[in-house]
């Protein structure tokens, strides 16, 4: 047995035994690209997923209700400086109609996504209250958990979101390398954004963290991010491959191979066996779903109804008009992967269990604005 194969076997055995890997070992796993090695990684990730979640997969309805944003992230087509972009804000009635359609189709969560819309998160008290009432209405009418991704908002707004019935706060750091972060998110304080996740957790919200691949990161950077997510005990860990788009400073950045994202999904599953890991339809559409599921993902995200005038993020129109992001198209892919849709109530049971786990563990970290307090 070669030293390479021996190391891979040793690490996979350690993971199976519940041993926490050090960052150099995580980085080494992330560097693997030989098909035989990645097949072993993916098989191990699927086995871990089976142990913790069985063969069930959850579905997220994706409702990007405002494409206005006050930020100038260099990787995002919805950056404020992109004046060539036609933007929209959906009305409360339009949001509720789309949410009800997705709920009727069988999704387990409504993901209300937005840019950091200055007329909402930076608006008047009346505008903020109108936004909160819209969120509350979605939860009350669909009877589903709601995720919101408003960017970095104040503790008061986070508390208001909790009172409006929000279950999840999604806030992506993209990278935990501060220098790289500054190039990706100019003008946005790294520590303040990070602290928002601690403040959300302190308020009892479940937290999703997200990272990008293909933006100049190293394997060590990705390992740092995974180690942070493990230490923080994120409830959902997302990775997405950067997709170059017109109207952004990184428009000519070369697209990286899909394998980077797939290996990262697998390693996240091995290091964080009990968290939710999305297979997003927003990067490669339906064509890339099976590979992400085979790498260990257990949530299908960015399910978007056709003809509702909704956009995606990385790929704003991919598979939407053709109904390729509907459950009718997604479920057959699951079956081919040996997976099944979760039954009604299973997702809520997982959420309830996760919330109770955090309360028992005392994992509320009390981070004041602008300062990060590590969890014990």
CATH topology for 3-361? Answer: TIM Barrel (3.20.20)
Integer Cα distance of 245 and 158 in angstroms: 31
Residue range 171-197: mean pLDDT, rounded: 97
CB 288 within 8 A of CB 282: no
Count of other CB atoms within 10 angstroms of residue 122: 13
Residue 209 per-residue DSSP state: E
Query: pLDDT, tens digit, for every residue of 107-159?
Result: 999 999 999 999 998 888 899 999 999 999 999 999 999 999 999 998 999 99
For position 363, what pLDDT does the model report?
A: 60
Query: pLDDT, tens digit, for every residue of 280-337?
Result: 999 999 999 999 999 999 999 999 999 899 999 988 999 999 999 999 999 999 999 9
Find the helix or strand (DSSP H, E) in which 168 lies: strand 168-170
CB 44 within 8 A of CB 266: yes
Query: pLDDT, tens digit, for every residue of 61-95?
Result: 999 999 999 999 999 999 999 998 899 999 999 99
pTM for the whole structure: 0.94
Query: pLDDT, tens digit, for every residue of 11-59?
Result: 999 999 999 999 999 999 999 999 999 999 999 999 999 999 999 999 9
Kindly tell me the burial class for residue 276, based on how many C-beta atoms sit within 10 Å of its own C-beta (0-12, 13-18, 19 or more): buried
CB neighbour list of residue 126: distance below 8 Å, 6 or more residues apart: none
């Amino acid at each position: 047995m070669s030293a390479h194969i021996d190391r891979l076997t040793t690490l996979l055995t350690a993971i199976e035994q519940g041993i926490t890997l050090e960052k150099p070992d995580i980085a080494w796993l992330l560097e693997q690209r030989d098909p035989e090695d990645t097949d072993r990684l993916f098989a191990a990730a699927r086995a871990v997923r089976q142990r913790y979640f069985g063969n069930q997969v959850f579905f997220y309805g994706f409702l990007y209700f405002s494409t206005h944003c006050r930020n100038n992230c260099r990787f995002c087509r919805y950056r404020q400086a992109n004046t060539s972009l036609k933007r929209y804000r959906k009305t409360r009635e339009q949001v509720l109609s789309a949410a009800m359609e997705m709920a009727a189709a069988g999704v387990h969560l409504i993901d209300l996504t937005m840019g950091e819309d200055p007329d909402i998160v930076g608006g008047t008290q009346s505008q903020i209250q109108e936004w909160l009432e819209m969120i509350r209405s979605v939860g009350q009418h669909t009877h589903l958990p709601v995720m919101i991704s408003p960017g970095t908002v104040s503790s008061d707004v986070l508390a208001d979101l909790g009172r409006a019935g929000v279950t999840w706060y999604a806030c992506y750091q993209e990278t935990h390398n501060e220098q790289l972060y500054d190039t990706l998110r100019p003008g946005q304080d790294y520590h303040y954004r990070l602290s928002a996740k601690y403040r959300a957790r302190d308020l009892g919200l479940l937290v999703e963290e997200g990272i990008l691949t293909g933006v100049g990161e190293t394997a060590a950077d990705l390992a740092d991010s995974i180690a942070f997510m493990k230490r923080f005990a994120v409830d959902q860990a997302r990775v997405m491959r950067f997709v170059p788009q017109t109207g952004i400073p990184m428009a000519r950045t070369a697209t990286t191979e899909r394998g980077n994202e797939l290996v990262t999904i697998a390693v996240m599953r091995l290091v964080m066996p009990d968290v939710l890991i999305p297979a997003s339809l927003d990067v490669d559409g339906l064509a890339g779903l099976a590979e992400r599921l085979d790498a260990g993902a257990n949530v299908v995200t960015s399910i978007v109804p056709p003809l509702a005038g909704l956009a995606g993020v990385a790929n704003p129109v991919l598979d939407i008009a053709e109904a390729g992001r509907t459950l009718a198209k997604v479920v057959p892919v699951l079956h081919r992967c040996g997976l099944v849709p979760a039954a009604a109530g299973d997702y809520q049971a997982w959420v309830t269990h996760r919330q109770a786990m955090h309360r028992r563990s005392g994992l509320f970290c009390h981070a004041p604005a602008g300062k990060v307090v590590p969890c014990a």
